[in-house]
Chain A
Amino acid sequence: MLSVQDLCFAYRECQVLKGISMQAKPGEIVSLVGPNGSGKTTLLRCLVSILTPQSGHVHIHGQDIFRISSKDRAQHLAYVPQNMPSKFPLTVFDMLLMGRRPYLGWRPSSKDLTVIENTLHSMQLDHLAMQDFDRLSGGQRQKVLIARAVVQQAQFMILDEPTSNLDLKHQVEVMRFLERMALEHNTGIIVAIHDLNLAYRFAQQMILMQEGKVVCHGSPMQVLDPTIIEEVYQVGVRILSDNGHHFVIPEKNGF
Chain B
Amino acid sequence: MTCYLPTGSMDALYQRLNQRKLCGLLLLAFLLLCAVGINLSVGSISLSLDQILRALRGEPGLAGDIVWQLRLPRIAMGFLIGWGLAVAGTMAQAVLKNPLASPYTLGMAAGAGFGAVLGILLGQGIGQWIVPGSALAFSLITAGVMLSVSKLKNSTPETLILSGVAVMFLFSALTSFLQYVSSLEELHEIVFWFFGSLSKAGWSQIGISAAMILPPFVLLMSWAWDLNILMAGDESALALGMNVHRIRTAGIAIIALMTAGSICFTGSIGFIGLVAPHGARLMLGSDHRYLLPASGLVGATLLLFADIISRTIWQPQVIPIGIVTSFLGVPFFMFLLMRRHKEYW
Contact = CB atoms under 8 A, between A and B. Distances in A.
Interface of A: 45, 48-50, 69-75, 77-79, 81, 84-90, 93-95, 97-99, 101-102, 104, 106, 108, 110, 113-114, 116-117, 120, 126-127, 129-132, 134-135, 152
A87 B233 CA distance: 9
A27 B341 CA distance: 45
A134 B238 CA distance: 21
Interface stretch (B7-15, B27-35, B119-127): B7-15
B345 A88 contact: yes
A79 B239 contact: yes
Contacts of B225: 101, 104, 106
A93 B1 CA distance: 13
Given A88-B345, A113-B14, A130-B5, A70 B243 contact: yes
B239 A88 contact: no
| In the A-B complex, the 8 residue pairs with the closest CB atoms | A74-B241, A79-B239, A117-B10, A70-B241, A71-B241, A48-B239, A50-B238, A129-B5
Contacts of B180: none
27 contacts: A45-B235, A49-B239, A50-B239, A70-B241, A73-B241, A74-B240, A79-B239, A81-B233, A84-B232, A84-B236, A88-B344, A90-B232, A93-B14, A94-B228, A95-B232, A98-B236, A102-B240, A104-B225, A106-B225, A117-B9, A117-B10, A117-B11, A120-B10, A129-B5, A130-B1, A132-B2, A132-B342
Nearest to B9: A117
A130 B233 contact: no
B285 interface: yes
B14 A86 contact: no
Contact of A89 (B5, B229, B344): B344
B50 interface: no
Interface residues of B, number: 38
* Most chain A C-beta atoms within 10 Å of own C-beta, residue among B3, B229, B238: B238
Nearest to A71: B241
Nearest to A115: B10
B243 A113 contact: no
A69 B236 CA distance: 17
Contact of A49 (B3, B97, B238): B238
A101 B241 contact: yes
A184 B240 CA distance: 23
A155 B166 CA distance: 47
A94 B14 contact: no
Contacts of B342: 89, 132
A108 B13 CA distance: 13
Contact of A130 (B2, B232, B236, B239): B2
B239 A81 contact: yes
A67 to B, nearest CB: 14
Given A48-B238, A70-B243, A98 B233 contact: no
Given A94-B286, A98-B240, A130-B2, A84 B14 contact: no
A255 B281 CA distance: 54
B4 interface: yes
Nearest to B282: A89
Contacts of A102: 240-241
A97 B229 CA distance: 9
B185 interface: no
A68 to B, nearest CB: 10
B241 A126 contact: no
Contacts of A110: 11
A113 B15 CA distance: 11
B98 interface: yes
Given A50-B234, A87-B98, A134-B343, 17 more contacts: A45-B235, A49-B238, A71-B241, A75-B241, A84-B235, A94-B228, A94-B286, A95-B232, A98-B229, A98-B236, A98-B240, A101-B242, A108-B14, A110-B11, A132-B2, A132-B342, A135-B343
Nearest to A70: B241
Contacts of A113: 9-11, 14
Contacts of A116: 10
* Most chain A C-beta atoms within 10 Å of own C-beta, residue among B9, B232, B342, B344: B232
A90 B286 contact: yes
B233 A85 contact: yes
* Most chain B C-beta atoms within 10 Å of own C-beta, residue among A50, A98, A110: A98
A87 B345 contact: yes
Contacts of B241: 69-75, 101-102
B186 interface: no
Contacts of B178: none
B202 interface: no
Nearest to B99: A87
B286 A89 contact: yes
Interface string B129-162: 0000000000000000000000000000000000
A78 B240 CA distance: 7
A45 B99 CA distance: 27
Nearest to B281: A88
B5 A101 contact: no
* Most chain A C-beta atoms within 10 Å of own C-beta, residue among B3, B10, B344: B10
Contacts of B240: 74, 98-99, 101-102, 152
A73 B241 CA distance: 7
B174 interface: no
A14 B42 CA distance: 68
